[in-house]
Amino acid sequence: MQNNKTFLGIELGSTRIKSVLIDENFQTMASGGFEWENRLENGIWTYHLDDVWTGLQTSFRQLAAEFEATCGEPLTTVSGIGISAMMHGYLPFDKEGKQLAEFRTWRNTTTEQAATILTEKFGFNIPLRWSIAHLYQAMLNGEDHVRNIAFLTTLAGYVHYELTGEKVLGIGDASGMFPIDSTINDYHPRMLAEFGQIAAGSATAESAFDQKLTGILPKVLMAGENAGLLTEKGARLLDPTGKLKAGIPLCPPEGDAGTGMVATNSVSERTGNISAGTSVFAMIVLEKELSRVYPKIDMVTTPDGKPVAMAHCNNCSSDIDAWVRLCDELLKGFGVNAEKTALYNFLYNISQNADPDCGGLLSYNYYSGEPVTGLEQGRPLFVRTPDSKLTLANFFRNLLFSAVASLKIGMNILTERENVVIDRLSGHGGLFKTKDVGQKLVAAALNAPVIVSDSAGEGGAWGIAILAAYMEQTASMEQRNTNESLGEYLAHAVFKDNVDVCALPDRSDVEQFNTYLERYKAGLAIEKAAVESLK
């Protein structure tokens, strides 16, 4: 097996760290996982970096054990490795590599002042969760650590650096740190210069920022480029047993948005993908630039640099998961131990028996703030009137509608104001695991065809493994003096035999969702009151 081409992909998601090993035919040979959760500490959503390495080692150990059990030999090397993780956030380090502040994840919405100023100055939307918004907010707050920053990166960039010693980032992940100029596939030079002026004008004695921003940001790399080699230190970080050898090439580290695009074959114009898990976002590869700046639409890129419009919502399935746990607790009280997947499938399927108006029920799934609807904080909320029809089917369909309602509000900007054409959307994530239900729901909510393929179930870990394989293919093409774009590679090699299941929008479902959405928008005042009243 060691003589065959294999590629290792690892993604640090919001609730799970997953490792996938694929062969040269892109089939999964072994996998491993580690469950983790973010923590709310001192008002900041965070993960501890010690947990990063515990999770990575646990996930890799499971994968290596499965490989050895199947192949009869230990896993000592692979042809390429890729690291992916949640995009955005704030991970600053000093010149000795010491972490200067807690890891501030994408989920934090405490950067409104900074994001508003930067958006106005740049003429480009800077979302609350972007790294540059976190950095500037730390400056505005007068946080002392800012003066000592020597390296600022994302979670994927941090792990990649520890494994290789290279301070680099794939362009898709980099586009969630600072705006990208797609004509040069690098950080936008005008905005870099403007940030220097902004920083000089607002820095306090406590947070003097006396370096150029390019000095602390990771170098931007494109899909297919070599991003360094696994060092001896890196090999031991992944595999403390000492079996994994150093010297393995790594592809550019990417964010979960980029690996989701790869895993769903959505890197070409007029295609898009929806990732629906703890958070939910839809990404559409554009044919042309948007006519204006929209604070609720992010502009990022594909892993090969194409401009992408992204509607992102901080909240999706957490409230569904909480109610499923409550149902499970009730069943256990009666001595019934339901298998987790079976319980989810039952509740998802029963939602299809709901009344057209969900019985008048209404939910808000806001565990954290939601910029799309203008909320800095969240309060999970279930509301009904005395004459609402409270049934299990109505309740659960209401939860599913609520999970994508904010996304619909954001996507309407693209489809109604910018007339963006979407040929197909590819769905992946927990919302799509129950056959047909989530897929039909999203097709109705966004009024667009939605496909789900078997490969999408592997998610971002599989996607970054594909990017590692593309790096190896690119090196081979250079030797043969040929060229193949990422989109061509996915179409002609990875997905050539794929059979996708497509759900078209059902008119009745579309009407039902639109009715629910009007009730949802009208009830936002209730959610805002809950935030103000429930401290």
pLDDT digits (tens, 9 = 90+) for 276-319: 888 898 999 998 888 899 988 999 999 999 999 999 899 999 99
Helix (H), strand (E) counts: the chain = 16, 22
Q: Is residue 295 situated within a structural domain?
A: no
CB contact set of 271 (below 8 Å; sequence gap of 6+): 265, 284, 285, 422, 423, 424, 425, 426
Evaluate if residue 207 carries a pLDDT over 80. no
Closest CA to 425 of 417, 414, 434, 278: 414
469/509 same-domain check: no
Alpha helices (H) along 305-429: 318-333, 340-350, 392-412
| Predicted confidence band of residue 190 (pLDDT cuts 50, 70, 90) | very high
Closest CA to 92 of 45, 49, 38: 49
Closest CA to 360 of 402, 388, 383: 388
Which token pair is 442?
A: 């999203």
Residue that wins the pLDDT comparison between 314 and 156: 156
Q: What is the CATH number of the domain that holds 440?
A: 3.30.420
189/52 same-domain check: no
What DSSP state is assigned to residue 497? T
d(CA 137, CA 454): 42
Q: Do 356 and 507 touch, CB atoms closer than 8 A? A: no
Structural domain range at position 149: 88-153+179-216
Q: What is the pLDDT of residue 209?
A: 59
The amino acid sitting at 67 is F
In Å, how far are 26, 157, 438, 460 from 86, measured between CA atoms?
23, 10, 23, 10
Q: Is residue 469 situated within a structural domain?
A: yes
Task: Give SS3 for 195.
Answer: helix
Q: What is the pLDDT of residue 3?
A: 56
Closest CA to 91 of 180, 173, 1: 173
Q: Is residue 374 situated within a structural domain?
A: yes
467/388 same-domain check: no
Total domains in the chain come to 3
381/480 same-domain check: no
pTM: predicted TM-score of the whole model, two decimal places: 0.82
349/395 same-domain check: yes
Q: What is the CATH number of the domain that holds 205?
A: 3.30.420.40
| Predicted confidence band of residue 78 (pLDDT cuts 50, 70, 90) | very high
Which token pair is 215?
A: 């000095």
Closest CA to 273 of 224, 305, 306, 309: 309
510/384 same-domain check: yes
96/231 same-domain check: no
111/96 same-domain check: yes
Q: Is residue 270 situated within a structural domain?
A: no
Q: What is the pLDDT of residue 182?
A: 87
149/230 same-domain check: no
